Structure 1
Amino acid sequence: MNLNALQILSAFIVLFAVIDILGSIPVIINLKKQGNKINALQASLVSLSILLLFFFLGEPLLSLFGVDISSFAIAGAFVLLVMAFEMIFGINIFKHDNSPAGASIVPIAFPLIAGAGSFTTLLSLRAEFDSINIIIALILNIVIVFLVLKTTDRVEKIIGEGGIYLLQKFFGIILLAMSIRLFLSNLANLISQFLPALKG
């Protein structure tokens, strides 16, 4: 076990930007206005379970298709790049399923919190950080998700639409920088793996 505060902080920031629970407040409020009841604890626990399951079983699943972590991390970097563009430029590239049925689980837990972006990010982070640090960062994020879901109306009043807008742009830029770093570091890993074969 190699606890590292810097790794926890870095992983936390990336996951916070990807999950973007503050940016999802308008969606959550809209679901509530439609008469959907959202159980904050249920949504948080289901999301955490899905993400942890994918975190531990994602790599063996990838190996079945002959894909290594570095290659997946590069693919993940492109997904994060697209998500960063969404947040910075206010465009919609990914289609989000906003089905009102069972709002605590669908669409809150999945795919709003535990979605394609979160899955990709978790496996991409495994190429960079120790697992224990990523798990701690994930749990901290889920705690924040719970608190936001529990106090959605109050958070919206405190932050305001302008505050939510600024947070989206700020974390979008952080996500963009992280995606570039992830791409470059894992590209270097792949090149170093293939160089001996090319020389041979």
Structure 2
Amino acid sequence: MDDISGILYAFATLFIILNPLLSVPIFAAMTRGQSPAEIHKQAFIAVAVAGSLMYLFLVFNQVIFDILGLSIPSFQIAGGILLFLLGIQEALGIELGHSKGHAKSAAGVVIGTPLLCGPGAITTVMLLSKDYGFLIPFVAITLALLATWIILYYSELIQRVLGEVVTDIMGKVLGMFLAAIAVNLITSGILTLAGI
């Protein structure tokens, strides 16, 4: 019973951190005009990218940062910059990074990280592994990723239910929120690095 409650707690925590529902309008906006097969592929890529990072940090924890000579604050700043660019892109309706033919892969990768799996998710995974060991966080990550994949997989249906105008407005508003969250991430990372 303790294991089940631990899994439920870890799953709820990770699901809230991943917040796939927040990603739906942005994912829908970034994959607009693509075929259902391509949208489903991007949903898989997003979850695969987020999952790879989460499992990697579950297994290796701080070792990765130590090997690369990086810190969580530096990762926070880098993730914040990417998130800020994504927020600007969605809020203003402009396209970034499509000039080299990467449009098709952009949605999955950018949604995967830093939107789904950013510094918050990585830190959470590291803390859960410290508290619960390996198995409970592993099961919780798998369940959270499965739930996230289902939500992104059906993003087109969710968008259709909400309507394109509502989804478009939500995407632009959330873009502004993303930019604001990104500024907080960057500021927090800089202050931590500066020891303030």
TM-score (norm: length of structure 1): 0.63
Residues 88 and 173 of structure 1 are in contact (CA less than 8 Å); yes or no, is this contact kept in structure 2?
yes
Q: State the match for 2:114 in structure 1.
A: 120
In 2, Cα distance between equivalents of 1:119 and 1:172: 15
Secondary structure at the aligned position of 2:194 is classed as helix
CA distance 1:9–1:170, shift in 2 (3 Å): farther
User: What is the RMSD computed on CA atoms of the aligned residues?
Assistant: 3.6
Pick the aligned partner of 1:144 from 144, 151, 154: 151
Shift in CA distance, 130/64, structure 1 to aligned 2, threshold 3 Å:
closer
Which of 24, 27, 30 is the matching residue for 2:33? 27
String of CA shifts for 1:52-85, please: whole Å, max 9, x gaps: 1133337755544322221011111011111111
Classify 1:118/1:46 alpha carbon distance in 2 versus 1 (closer, same or farther; 3 Å).
closer
Cα distance between partner residues in 2 of 1:93 and 1:166 = 19
> Does the Cα contact within 8 Å between 1:81 and 1:179 map onto a contact in 2?
yes
Q: Which of 23, 26, 32 is 1:17 aligned to?
A: 23
Distance 1:172 1:123, change over 3 A: closer
Distance 1:167 1:82, change over 3 A: same
User: Is the aligned partner of 1:94 residue 2:97?
Assistant: yes
**Structure 1 140/93 Cα, relative in aligned 2: closer, same or farther at 3 Å?**
same
- 2:72 corresponds to: 69
SS in 2 for 1:22: helix
- Structure 1: 5+ residue stretches without partners: 99-106, 196-200
For 1:62 and 1:24, locate their aligned partners in 2 and report how far apart those are by CA, in whole Å: 31
Contact 1:12 1:138 in 2 (8 A): no
Specify the alignment match of 1:168 in structure 2: 171
Task: From the superposition, tell whether residues 81 and 45 of structure 1 become closer, same or farther in structure 2 (CA, over 3 Å).
Answer: closer
Does the 8 Å CA contact 2:88/2:175 hold for their aligned counterparts? yes
Q: How many residues align?
A: 170
**Is the 2:31–2:39 Cα contact (8 Å) retained in structure 1?**
no
**Identity percentage of aligned residues:** 16
Closer/same/farther in 2, CA of residues 39 and 116 from structure 1, 3 Å limit: closer
| Higher share of residues assigned helix | 2
Measure, in 1, the Cα distance between the counterparts of 2:52 and 2:11.
23
Local SS of the residue matching 1:171: helix
Give, in whole Å, the separation in 2 of the partners of 1:6 and 1:57. 18
Q: Distance in 1 between matches of 2:107 and 2:32?
A: 12
Find 1:78's aligned residue among 54, 62, 81.
Answer: 81
Question: Equivalents in 2 of 1:18, 1:75: separation in Å?
Answer: 23
State the AA in 1 paired with 2:120.
Answer: L
Structure 2: any 5+ residue segments left out of the alignment?
1-5, 129-136
TM-score by length of 2: 0.65
